[in-house]
Structure 1
Amino acid sequence: NNNIQYFYNLVFKWAPKSSLQNYTRTSRSFRIGFSQSVQSQVIFRWWKISLRSEYRSTKPGETKETHEDFLEKSHLQVQIALIFGSRILDYVFNLCEGKFDFLERLSDSLLLNIISYLDLEDIARLSQTSRRFAKLCMSDELWEQIVRSSCDHITPDMRALAQDMGWRQMYFTNKLQLQRHLRKRKQRQGSQRSSQL
């Protein structure tokens, strides 16, 4: 029925009043749900919302399971997989087993700073671990940090060239090619100025 809508929200708490993770998911039909893990429980709550009067007295639903029961039973696992996807389900499994990925929780700016100290081979391997790390490892912000740390001085021409070609491409361009690119860029700018006069 298109008039009935649901809202689901997934929250994990490991101690009362301290939230570890919060997820909200809505689909085409607006869905409300709530799941949390308090000490050794996974609690999943959902709300049915409808503008129709016959559904206004509908109360929220709730399912509680211990971590061990959650790992063994498939009903709640199926609900979480359908609503939040397999990635979140895997994450919930890891939380219930006491496995935390603290790196995934760090901000992008902090991760970029850390990644900039890695060897090139390690950056290549890290980029293959997840979409987020692939995006970070290919980002201009990371390669700008790497170029800045490997060069003594970055001229305005080098910065402008990096804006044109990208910091990553600039890093992998050898010095002779870089000088040729800078020369061509200056010639192009000179010819554009003379054509404007």
Structure 2
Amino acid sequence: EYTCRGRRSSDSQSSEISDAVTLTVSDAAEAVVSVSPLRWLTEGDSVTLSCEVKHSSTGWTFSWYTEVLSRDSQGSLRYSTALLSDSSRGSGGSFTLSPVTVNHTGVYMCRAERGEKVFHTRDSNLQLLWITGESPPVSLIIKPSRTQHFTADSLSLSCEDQSDSTGWTVRGYTHSETVSDCSSVSGSICNISSLSTSHTGVYWCQSESGGR
């Protein structure tokens, strides 16, 4: 609770203490993205991303974003959040992609806002959509080639294109719902010297132009 009291500078006379005002501070509202029916899809399928604000359901307008790959002024590759060009289609909280193509593969998030003096939530959790086609232009090669790996093992991941093996970046989406580049790169090869359970996730190849 807060109160105030006035004092006149000419004779230092003070007023009575004001009525108390209670100020309640809450954490920023949290937006959450979910996917239906699945986030693992084949070209031609349909998928709907839904955005909700926890503990608050009315008066919100939603915007949709994806991560994009670009070069900064020094020529280094950077990932940034970009508003989807057709984000307004999902202003009511649902964003449907139909039919999906491999170009829809990526990481999506949302943000909600409301009020004349716009109040907005933090960016939502990240949701990965993975769409496969009949003939992917690039292959992700894992060495050693086996389906199961153990902690402390080492492995390498590389992107191989029929025409050009350069210009591709290995990206990963781990169980902690974070997206990252390989931490140790030699040429076009991603090297992991000591595996841990935190490396569990989905990995793919992404070109400098943003293609997968």
Q: TM-score range by the shorter chain?
A: under 0.3
Instruction: Write 1 or 2 for the structure with the bigger share of helix.
Output: 1
Query: What is the TM-score with the length of structure 1 in the denominator?
Result: 0.24
Task: Say which one has the larger Rg.
Answer: 1
Query: What is the TM-score with the length of structure 2 in the denominator?
Result: 0.23
The higher-RCO structure (CA 8 Å, 6+ apart) is 2
Instruction: Write 1 or 2 for the structure with the bigger share of strand.
Output: 2
